[in-house]
Structure 1
């Protein structure tokens, strides 16, 4: 498969994805925002715990 064929396949696949996709409604958007926020908080807590543990050990 050459570069031109790869590019044409990418354009064709991109058009198909844009046809199928839709804009999320308000409820779905806020649910996604909550889940993302919870994930950020969890990663932050884990990072802080590792930092605290490392500082107590003296690394």
Structure 2
């Protein structure tokens, strides 16, 4: 799941030049579904400085 979210963060950043991406951006712009967002959050996946990682 980390790699899926990172890929979408990279795509979104390349297309929008946004340097502060969060899950709300990705869902509202259709880069992730709400189901994917919930799965990522359930797995403690976070986006920090456009880098996706797990946080426990």
TM-score by length of 2: 0.29
Give the structure with the higher percent strand: 2
Instruction: Indicate the structure (1 or 2) with the bigger Cα radius of gyration.
Output: 1
